[in-house]
Structure 1
């Protein structure tokens, strides 16, 4: 056959059909040009959707945030000083790898991270909670337990959350659905101006300038030694508010800034045989004159021990059972009752009051030191309630 026409179709009939097809395409294009447009590249379209809002929070967080993860509901909530910011389904640990419950903080972040435990598995928008490998990250999320201990997030929400947080962002993982509540109490710290050093106060402007120059030189030298990335992390940690931990088990109060310990002092708890509970108090903003702060509180219930004994926490200790957590008898105190029962040395109260500000947290708990809470500057306070 000539002219490339189909078998059994003559040249004239083929040309006629081609003309009809061309006319039909022209009519379709006139009605809706997008129907004939070439398919768009999926990657630019996805990037455009992300810029347009799929990966943007429903509103910008105001002040410090608290992230709450519920094991029972398989859901995550983000709160700021005004209330709920955003929420999402999650998938937490299953089988022999349950997600630990308790009080954590974001201790590291990487947009593209690969697991050094699970054969280089991709963990996009990773936010590390423990040095043993528990993290928030993008992954297959069904609203049911499915991970090896991490908290998987839908991809778009993982990007949202990554953009909302910084190092030190507080994360509470609980069996239920705790919600931050406002609390006012005389034992909560108020901001107090530090008493200046008499020698520093009387220093001449020239001496102060020399001291500042020396500090800058030391910082530049240190940055050159440890590298830009580590130096940037160190500067971010220096901007963090303080964290305070009162442990009934240890009988002490501890203060950390930038994941490094600043203070340790004795702490007495009245009615020692009674459970104190675990309560996380967050200073969200100044409240009027006189240094008073507005505080919110989250209470974290203890979880059953059954899964704690089976939990595997790292590649180096996969078959090592996590020690059982000893609990005090009876129902835990309410947040206000817990504060009433604590006695701190006045010197410690004064020093903490000089450092407290928006974002500062006070954690009051029955529990003490644990394998996840490091003292080498790599983690904030971590409380394991399971």
Structure 2
């Protein structure tokens, strides 16, 4: 009996530590959060906003544009007043949008890229999507079809411009300034060839309170999720 007593103590001790380990490590922690998808991590952009009272009175002769690459916004302005405030998507890493003082060099309502697009066959079926004429060769039996850039406003001789495009919530283009379709159309209709454009890496205009969420009869939110707008 006395010889078995130490063994019984050891066995009980092993059992106790085993049960403690299961309790500590074997049960899932209730505080763990599920993994978030990439879509959840995309920063939501404020929607397109328009001062309808000002818009009704302006002419292309008096407007100028400011594009903030830091804020991912484009502003159509008269003097110091913002008429249209639009979300954008500028050039991604390695294809940064140029900054500086520019002007609208050309307007084309149905422009197509000469550099980026798809290879399609004779029936128009896409064989290879998202190609670059700089680096990709067309497969046999296909030809290049440029990406649509509706409401195109050219800013540089190299082909950078403002046009309709997908807005994922971050810089994603090959250098152009992508805009929601309704925003691009409004800008297009209210600029002319020669309209000044200032593309700034960082710009923080004095934005009227109506653009910060308070209600105002002159301002109108035209859509709620610019990430879903595409050309």
TM-score (norm 1): 0.31
Contact 2:50 2:83 in 1 (8 A): no
Question: 1:122: which partner in 2?
Answer: 148
- The CA distance in 1 between the partners of 2:100 and 2:204, in whole Å, is 12
Residues 245-287 of structure 1: per-residue CA shift (max 9 Å, x gap) = xxxxxxxxxxxxxxxxxxxxxxxxxxxxxxxxxxxxxxxxxxx
Question: 2:197: which partner in 1?
Answer: 171
Return the match for 1:148 from 174, 181, 200. 174
Q: CA deviation at 1:131?
A: 1.1
Please give the root-mean-square deviation of Cα atoms over the aligned residues, in Å.
Answer: 2.2
Return the match for 1:99 from 73, 97, 100. 97
Q: Using a 3 Å threshold, how does the CA distance of structure 1 residues 116 and 57 change in structure 2: closer, same or farther?
A: farther
Superposition pairs of residues 297-376 of structure 1, within 5 angstroms: none
Higher-helix-fraction structure: 1
TM-score (norm 2): 0.51
Residues 314-337 of structure 1: per-residue CA shift (max 9 Å, x gap) = xxxxxxxxxxxxxxxxxxxxxxxx
Contact 2:67 2:198 in 1 (8 A): yes
Bigger RCO of structures 1 and 2 (CA < 8 A, at least 6 apart): 2
Q: Using a 3 Å threshold, how does the CA distance of structure 1 residues 127 and 55 change in structure 2: closer, same or farther?
A: farther
Contact 2:49 2:84 in 1 (8 A): no
Q: Aligned residue pairs: how many?
A: 127
- The CA distance in 2 between the partners of 1:167 and 1:127, in whole Å, is 9
- The CA distance in 2 between the partners of 1:75 and 1:135, in whole Å, is 15
Q: Which runs of 5+ in 1 are unaligned?
A: 1-53, 181-386
Q: Which runs of 5+ in 2 are unaligned?
A: 1-47, 118-145, 207-231
- The CA distance in 1 between the partners of 2:169 and 2:108, in whole Å, is 24
Return the match for 2:109 from 104, 108, 111. 111
SS in 1 for 2:76: strand
